[in-house]
Structure 1
Amino acid sequence: MKVQDLIAYKKGFKLAMDIFHLSKKFPREETYSLTDQIRRSSRSVCANLSEAYRKRRYPKHFISKLTDCDAENGETQTWLEFALACDYISNETYNNLLKESQDVANLLNYMILNPKKFGSSES
């Protein structure tokens, strides 16, 4: 099994791509602030998950990287809130993306609480 087969990775990747396409419509003056930050944090979920998965033999490293994933996902939620407050996205879009992000958070939390199920040698 590779990291791309994990449901958390697939959902995180989809969320990052949804945000990427949506953020193309953000105002130009947001390029180096909101647009850049929301793209980076959403992509970091999968990047950190890839690192975590490669460290899964070492439970503390695995869990540490998974908590980094969760932190980046939380940051993404904050940027979504700013996008809503700035009227760059609708309430419906915000709620849909927030739900996707919460699904990712739930999956990451499951992985954190059950490292043995993902190849970690001890918990």
Structure 2
Amino acid sequence: MKYLRYQKKFPAHEKYKLVDQIIRSSRSVTANIAEGHGRFHYQENIQFCRIARGSLLETFDHLTVALDENYIQQDIFEELVSKNEELSKMMNGYINYLKNRKKEN
């Protein structure tokens, strides 16, 4: 991800704290989507998607801390938050799709 280059602007003491948390929470999103899809059961898939959505919010919180601590600039924060919000809408749409498919079966 091109945004990982911004981690170089974080102070050394945050490289293995906040930067690590941002990376882990953002990677957790796709990992939970994949795990839910692999369960082949609508309700479990929905649950893992909800966990993924929670990881999106966790990532948002970490980005807010980075902004508050002046580790990232406002424009970078806004761009990342915009992408986060777009992904959140996609997750909500996918969860609704799964709920509808569950009702049909």
Q: What TM-score does the superposition give when structure 1 sets the normalisation length?
A: 0.77
| 1:63-102 pair list within 5 angstroms | 63-102=46-85
Which residue in 1 is equivalent to 2:41? 58
- TM-aligned CA deviation for residue 21 of structure 1: 2.6
- Which amino acid is the alignment partner of residue 44 of structure 1? S
- Which amino acid is the alignment partner of residue 24 of structure 1? K
In 1, Cα distance between equivalents of 2:3 and 2:63: 9
In 2, Cα distance between equivalents of 1:64 and 1:19: 29
In 1, Cα distance between equivalents of 2:14 and 2:99: 42
- Correspondence for 1:40 among 14, 21, 24: 24
- Which amino acid is the alignment partner of residue 82 of structure 1? V
User: Structure 2: which 5+ runs fail to align?
Assistant: none
**Quick check: 1:105 aligned with 2:93?**
no
Check whether the contact 2:33–2:49 (CA below 8 A) recurs between aligned residues: yes
Q: What TM-score does the superposition give when structure 2 sets the normalisation length?
A: 0.89
- TM-aligned CA deviation for residue 45 of structure 1: 0.7
Check whether the contact 1:84–1:90 (CA below 8 A) recurs between aligned residues: yes
- Seen in structure 2, the aligned counterparts of structure 1 residues 78 and 18 have a Cα distance that, compared at 3 Å, is farther
Note the aligned Cα RMSD (angstroms): 1.6
Which residue in 2 is equivalent to 1:6? none
Larger Rg computed on CA atoms: 2
In 2, Cα distance between equivalents of 1:19 and 1:112: 27
Check whether the contact 2:7–2:15 (CA below 8 A) recurs between aligned residues: no
Identity %: 31
In 1, Cα distance between equivalents of 2:53 and 2:2: 18
- Which amino acid is the alignment partner of residue 11 of structure 2? P
Query: What do residues 61-83 of structure 1 show as CA deviations (whole Å, max 9, x unaligned)?
Result: 00000001100000000000000
- Which amino acid is the alignment partner of residue 65 of structure 1? F
